[in-house]
Amino acid sequence: MSLKVVKRPGRETLYVRGTIGGQSIYESTGTNNQKQAEAYRAKRETELWQESVYGKRAVITFDRAAAAYLAATQRSATTITHIERLLAHFKGKKINTIKQQDLDGAYSAILTAGNEAKAATKIRAVLTPLRAILEFSAIRGWCDKPAFERPKVEQVRMQFLRPEEATSLVNEAAPHIRPLLVFLIATGCRMSEALELDWQDVDLDGARAVVWQKQGNERHIDLPKVVLIALRGIPWRDGRVFRPAVKRRDRNGIMRWAVGESYSDTNRTGGGQIKSAWAFANRRAGLPGSERVWTPKNEKWPKRQFVPDMSPHCLRHTFATWHYCAYKDLLKLKEDGGWQTITMVTRYAKKMPDHYREQILQWWGYTDWPEIEYCVPYPGQEVETQGK
């Protein structure tokens, strides 16, 4: 039996109905145009006959596989964006025909710099999401497990702070993010873990906190003394520990602090939430960076912006290099930092000279640091009266 285009009472959209290879079909064509509906019917009928003879791997297209992949579980906004670009390129292509040459073509078609794009960009924006969808499909028997050549990523210099640089960075930062920077440096938490930290998961008396990793696993972290004095000065004890704060004038013209409930949700792609404050602190602390100059669209004069060489994630590198310098224990570093394998932490070994060991221990053990104690403003506080 073949498929037929039929009408459904009360609906303008046309449907196809019939049985192919013992499989009953009744689905929308997505159109009310008879000619387009017939084209859909012919295409679907061919697919279904091929599927009945050769199996699903002969007919599953990339768009169908991508739809199933997205429906299987919640994906991040970044992942969805990458997949949408892949869909525009691979739409209608059978997944069992996607080979290395197709991947090379995707680099050229999707990336702004094409095949000249950096290896890390190729991996992040094209190879990783494509491989994820094809591996998802292979598990379901729709195609073979993908085998692609991985672009070679150039090794970049690992960046981290020395103790005096870390102190300068914290002191020169805006008051409301100083405790956050101290927390990141002294615990090695990822930005997403820190920004999602809730007071109910913090035990100041026991010097312990619980953070949640991106894999959904909880991780217990010890809080050094310097973190405790920074957290104790935060003027709220419920909800998120670290919150955004901006200066605003009230109706009487008085400058006050407006404090948010939490930082914006970026689907755990942390770092951008404190972009301006991070650049400000780096510039004030004299840390390396460059000046970006550009002229916005429809504007006459160029704008300038300081772009630091380091990102907030470098504070995690700082924690790791300090940790190994202090303890010389890779297994302890792996556990304390929440890394999955020893291999991932070996790169931090011997990065920080032993000369800094006493300075590191002193930094973690600070109990008197006026610049980080009671520096976070409470909501509505006058800017001029900030402080204990």
Considering the domain boundaries, does residue 158 fall inside one? Answer: no
Q: What is the pLDDT along the chain (388 residues), one digit of tens a residue?
A: 688 889 988 888 999 888 877 778 888 888 989 999 888 888 888 777 666 655 555 568 899 899 999 989 888 888 999 999 999 999 989 998 999 999 999 999 999 989 999 998 999 999 999 999 999 999 988 888 999 999 998 777 889 999 999 999 999 999 999 999 999 999 999 999 999 999 999 999 999 999 987 667 889 999 999 999 999 999 999 999 999 998 999 999 999 999 999 987 655 555 678 999 999 999 999 999 998 888 888 888 888 889 999 999 999 999 999 999 999 999 999 999 999 899 889 988 889 999 999 999 999 999 999 999 999 998 899 987 544 4
The pLDDT, as a whole number, for residue 385 is: 54
Residues 183 and 35 reside in one and the same domain: no
Give pLDDT, residue 149. Answer: 95
Are the CB atoms for 375 and 174 separated by under 8 Å?
A: no
Q: How high is the pLDDT of residue 265?
A: 66
Residues 386 and 388: their CA atoms lie apart, in Å, by 7
Query: What pLDDT score was predicted for residue 295?
Result: 84
Q: Do 33 and 106 fall into the same domain? A: no
DSSP3 helix / strand / coil % (the chain, rounded to 5): 45, 15, 40
Q: What is the pLDDT of residue 217?
A: 81
**20 and 168, same domain (yes or no):** no
- The model's pTM is 0.70
Domain-located, residue 155: no
CA distance 290 to 276: 14
Cα 281–326–287 angle (5° rounding)?
20
Q: What are the beta bridge partners of residue 91?
A: none
Assess if residue 90 is contained within a domain: yes
| Within a domain: 267 | yes
Per-residue pLDDT at 53: 54
Same domain for 181 and 250, yes or no, is yes
Do 237 and 292 lie in one domain? The reply is: yes
The answer to whether residues 238 and 370 belong to one domain is yes
Residues 69 and 50 in one domain: no
Whether residue 151 is contained in a domain is answered as no
Number of domains in the chain: 3
Is residue 351 domain-resident? yes
Check whether residue 110 and residue 222 sit in a common domain: no
Q: Are residue 324 and residue 356 in the same domain, yes or no?
A: yes
Q: What does DSSP say about strands 303-308 and 4-7: parallel, antiparallel, or unpaired?
A: unpaired
Tell whether 157 is covered by a domain.
Answer: no
Q: Among 105, 139, 173, give the residue marking a domain's end.
A: 139
Of 124, 139, 154, which residue constitutes the final position of a domain? 139
CA–CA dist 159, 351 (Å, integer): 10
Domain containing residue 26: 4-54
**242 in Cβ contact with 230 (< 8 Å):** no
Residues 115 and 262 in one domain: no
Residue 228 covered by a domain: yes
Q: Of 101, 123, 139, which residue constitutes the final position of a domain? A: 139
**Angle between helix 77-90 and helix 100-110 axes, rounded to 10 deg:** 110
Write the single-letter amino acid at 147.
A
Query: 361 and 316: one domain?
Result: yes
Residues 352 and 203 in one domain: yes
